[in-house]
């Protein structure tokens, strides 16, 4: 879902709470029951040219990391974006769970903020706050 009123976002901070659960149509790969799948908990992608599959193939592990999540609890996410860099913080952690130093669209791009879930996932978002720098 594209968030109305966020057109032109370039540099700033996005705060949002999310809770998600697997739906009845969730594919088998949606269950992280091995370490490799768990290491994909957080991922960066830049559609349409840089989906997960391309980034994972060209630079394994660079754009994904593990973070401890509980599907039955709300998770606070904070994304700080500055030029071509982004940092993802989970549940008020002092250190980022994921660091991206080379956003694929470059430092001078802007656009709207969108929230989405994977196939077979039921998710709810709350307390969205966007601060522009």
- Comparing C-alpha atoms, which of 126, 121, 130, 118 is closest to residue 52? 118
pLDDT at residue 27, as a whole number = 82
pLDDT at residue 31, as a whole number = 75
Within the chain, where are the H helices?
35-38, 52-58
> What are 15-35's pLDDT values in tens digits?
999 999 888 888 877 776 788
pLDDT at residue 71, as a whole number = 85
Domain boundaries, the chain: 12-132
pLDDT at residue 36, as a whole number = 84
User: Are 79 and 87 in contact, with CB atoms under 8 Å apart?
Assistant: yes
DSSP bridge pairs for 91: none
Mean pLDDT, residues 36-56 taken together = 90
**9 or 119: which leads in pLDDT:** 9
Q: How far apart are CA 89 and CA 110, in angstroms?
A: 21
Distances (CA, A) of 19 to 13, 57, 69, 76, 106: 20, 29, 10, 9, 30
Question: CA geometry: angle at 3 spanning 13 and 108, to 5°?
Answer: 55
Structure-block tokens of residue 92:
């008020």
Rg (CA), the chain: 15
DSSP annotation of 2 reads B
Q: What's the mean pLDDT when you consider all of the chain?
A: 92
pLDDT at residue 103, as a whole number = 96
């Amino acid at each position: 879902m594209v968030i109305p009123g966020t057109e032109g976002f370039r540099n700033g901070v996005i705060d949002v709470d999310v809770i998600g659960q697997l739906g009845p149509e969730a594919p088998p790969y949606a269950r992280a029951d091995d370490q490799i799948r768990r290491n994909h908990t957080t991922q960066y992608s830049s559609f349409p040219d840089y989906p997960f599959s391309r980034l994972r193939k060209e630079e394994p592990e660079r754009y994904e990391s593990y973070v401890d999540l509980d599907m039955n609890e709300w998770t606070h996410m904070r994304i700080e974006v500055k030029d071509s860099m982004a940092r993802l913080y989970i549940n008020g952690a002092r250190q980022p769970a994921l660091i991206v130093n080379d956003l694929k669209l470059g430092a001078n791009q802007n656009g709207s903020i969108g929230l989405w879930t994977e196939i077979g996932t039921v998710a709810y978002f709350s307390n969205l706050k966007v601060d522009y720098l």
